[in-house]
Structures are given as structure tokens and as C-alpha cells.
Amino acid sequence: MTFSLSLFVFLLQFLWKQIEQIIGKGLGVEVILELVLYACATLVPMALPLAVLLASIMTMGNFGEKYELVAMKAAGISLWRVLRPLIIISVLFSIMAFFFSNKVIPVANMKLRTVLYEVKTKKPTLNIKPNQFYSEIENYTIRIGSKDKEGVNMKDIIVYDHSKDLGNVSVTLADSGQMYATPDGNTLIFRLFSGYTFDEDISGVNIHSRPLMRLNFKEQVIRFDVSDFAYQEADDNRYEGHYKMLDIKALNRNLDTLYRKTGMIGENIARISKENFSVKAQPNAQSKENFYEKFKSLPLEQQRNIDNIVDSKIEFVCNDMNSWIVQMNSEQDMVRRHQIELHRKFTLSAACLILFFIGAPLGAIIRKGGMGMPIVVSTVAFIIYYIVGTMGENATREGEMPIWVGMWLSTIVFLPLGLFLTTKATSDAGLLNAEVWTKTIEKILNKLKNIYRKTK
């Protein structure tokens, strides 16, 4: 139940972000369902840890609120014995999460990006409204006075042809007409009746005259290419090879290739540095003075030629070095992104376990079940966990923090907290008891007063 709730909340967030790309394009139900299905699969890494946290708080909170924990402890059953089946279930969830993250999420990411590309490239639904200028069809602007309920018969039609990119130099007007699409939906046909076409020549052959041609017609057919309005499936291989669409084996294979590339680039940088910037023998003051005397004795034109040669050599070497350094930074950035995805395969499993050991003792301590206090506590805990993890990942992506530290930062922070809460829960410490906190604060204040008196 908690997993469905969490997934539904994250799905609403996803749809809200993509609502502008979806609404008004006439997408079929099967396309929307496909988009939702792939989005749900990619949202599991966020929904599953939150669900484990919320479910563990609710379960242990219900035990505590109904005094079942008290009864079990009175019967000699320790909290660790109570948590044992839940720990086993959490471990099974972690194992399932690892295989899901390694095998399913990469495929779901690729499918989701493909569907989103198909949706974004589809133009809004073709809807020409009366007394409005419609310009969604490329190179044309259309205005109609009225149309019937079926949307076939029209009156007072104006069609501006901008295909020559010269402005409104070609205009067609008709008293009435019909509008319908071909069976494949890629062509829109306008059959116009009783009208005329104005075509103005501004090619510039004669700058003093702009001849205007007027063509009367009883019937004319205009065909518009509207293939962009049709939903077209993209190739699934469009995003194949992207680091977010790879499993552990493929990531390691790509990393080996990237390591070889960075090694070759590093060798080139070292070679350029050795050939152009290394000093074989440090000149002494006497040799420097002799060099400058000889240089000053040369003609001014020759000195300028030498300066130009030296400047061009320096500029060439610096540009060559900078190009290799830019390439090295790009390859190192790709290495970091692959390593981040590699660690991400394991952080989902760790998150399920860590948040269980946060939620279960918290539920035993606060002793509140239901959907009230557990939702508040779990939401706050998960937000903090997510913010810490996001900060670490961003620092890792920018190269400001080692990969393993940034990707496991939330685990490093929350693991001691989970052990602390579990210890307090097993010892029945009143962690959230106001009286306990009051006594603790009074003890600290008394110690500070004693230290102040001794110092005085």
C-alpha cells in the first residue's frame, strides 16, 4: 500500500512536469499508458525506499500504539527478535531492488526517453478554428470564416503561402471549400470553390515594377504536408549506449574503453610538455647576457621576425595543449558519469536497508500508527536523505568529491543514525519523551554552571 502511494505521488510529479508536452496533441490511450508504465519503472528507486521507510514506521508504530510491543517484551521477546522477520523481508527487497536497478531500469529509461521524444516531436492536434489565423502548418497560414459541425465544409477561406519566404506575396481566397485528410493522415487536402489567387512577383528583376498575377478558379485543390501531426514511433536504438541505459557489465566495458582513451590523452599531454616545456640545461647568467647582446645586435627587422616565429610557436603549442586538456576533461567527465551509474545500481539496495533501520526503531519509539504521524516523520526523514544524496551526487559529478564518498554520502550519514535509533529502541529509551529531554538539558546546564564556578 505504501509503495503504491509513494509511486502515485512521484508519478503525479512526473506528469505535472511533462503536462505541456502531453496536453493538446491528441495522443492515444495506449501511448499515455505506455508513458505511465515506463515512468513508473524509472520512479521505483525513489518510491521503494520511501515505501520501506513509511511501512516500517507504520508497522512498528501500530505495535507500539496497541501495546503489542509491550506484551511481546513482557513475554521475554526482544526487539531484535521482533524485527527479525522484517529484516529478512527488507533484505529480500534489497536483493530484488538490485536486480531491478541493474536489468529493468536501464531498459525503462531507454523506452521512456524514446516515448518522450516521440511525444515532444509530435505537433499539437490539427484544429483550425473559425475567425482565427492558424499557422501550425509549416509555410502556410490559414483563416476560415465558418465550418460545419463535422469540420468538412467551410466558407470564406484565406490561405497565405509563405513557402517562398518573401512574405504575403501569394494569397488564395475562396468562397467555400472542403477539408479532409488522406487515409494515412499525412496529407491535409483543401478543395476550394469559386475563388482567385494573387501572386506578386518581387524577385527583383525589375526594381521599378512588381507585377501581380490574378488567377480565377472554379475549383482548386491544395495539399498540405501534415506528417508532423501524426504520432510516429521512433527507433528504440536512438539512445542505445547511453550510460543511463546500461547494466553493470556494459558500464564496466565502457569504463575500460574510457580509461584507455584517457591514458592515451595523458601520454599526448606528457609528450607535448616534454618536447616544448622541459628545460634540458638551465642557462647561467653569462650565457643569458651573451644571448641578449647577440639578439640586440641583429637588425630590427630580423628581431621582429624572430619574435613573430617565437610567438607563433608558443601559440601553436598552447592551442594544441588546450585542445588535449579539453578532451581529457570531457573524457574524465564521462568516466565520472559512468562510475555514478555503476554505484547507483547498489545505492538503491542500501537505501532500502538503511531506511528500514531508521523507520522501524522510530516507529517503536514514537508509538504512533496509521497515516498521520508516520507520514510526517517518514516524509521529513526521506527529504533529508534525498537532499544529502543529491548534494553528494552533484559534488561527485563536478569532480569535487570522490565517487564513493558522494554516491554513498546519505548512507554514511544515516547509517550511524539508524544504529543509534535501534540501540535506543532496544533499550526502551524515551527518546521522544519531553521529561527525558528536560532532565538531560538540566544536567548539561548544571555541568556548565559547575565549570563556570570552578573557573571563577
Task: Enumerate the β-bridge partners of residue 212.
Answer: 200
What is the helix (H) or strand (E) element at residue 193, kind and residue range?
strand 187-200
Q: Of the candidates 304, 259, 298, 242, which has an alpha carbon nearest to the alpha carbon of residue 110?
A: 242
Secondary structure class of 182 (helix, strand, coil): coil
* pLDDT tens per residue across span 338-356: 888 888 888 888 888 888 8
Query: Quick one: cell of 351?
Result: 537505501
Question: How far is Cα 144 from Cα 134, in angstroms, rounded to an integer?
Answer: 9
Phi-psi region of 212 (alpha: psi -120 to 50; beta: other; left: phi over 0): beta
3-state secondary structure 207-259: CCCCCEEEEEEEEEEEEEECHHHCCCCCCHHHHCCCHHHCCHHHHHHHHHHHH
* pLDDT tens per residue across span 204-230: 665 556 677 888 999 999 888 777 665
pLDDT score, position 72: 86
Q: How far is CA 389 from the centre of its chain?
A: 15
Q: For residue 56, which amino acid is it?
A: S
pLDDT score, position 8: 92
What is the helix (H) or strand (E) element at residue 98, kind and residue range?
helix 79-99
Question: How far is Cα 72 from Cα 428, in angstroms, rounded to an integer?
Answer: 13
pLDDT score, position 202: 67
- In terms of average pLDDT, the best of 97-106, 114-123, 182-191 is 97-106
Beta-carbon-side half-sphere exposure of residue 85 (alpha carbons within 13 Å): 3
pLDDT score, position 230: 59
pLDDT score, position 173: 92
Rg, Å, the chain Cα set: 36
Q: Taking the CB of residue 29, how many other CB atoms lie within 10 A of it?
A: 7
Q: Quick one: average pLDDT of 158-166?
A: 82
* pLDDT tens per residue across span 385-419: 888 888 888 888 888 888 888 888 888 888 888 88
Please say whether the beta carbons of 155 and 176 come within 8 A: yes
Question: How far is Cα 292 from Cα 14, in angstroms, rounded to an integer?
Answer: 70
Mean pLDDT taken over the chain: 81
Strands 187-200 and 212-225: antiparallel
| pLDDT for residue 282 is more than 60 | no
Q: Quick one: average pLDDT of 445-449?
A: 84
Please say whether the beta carbons of 108 and 41 come within 8 A: yes
| pLDDT for residue 232 is more than 70 | no
Q: Quick one: average pLDDT of 311-336?
A: 84
Q: Taking the CB of residue 162, how many other CB atoms lie within 10 A of it?
A: 15
Higher pLDDT, 30 or 206: 30
pLDDT score, position 280: 55
pLDDT score, position 17: 84
Q: Quick one: average pLDDT of 176-202?
A: 82
Task: Enumerate the β-bridge partners of residue 213.
Answer: 199
| pLDDT for residue 293 is more than 60 | yes
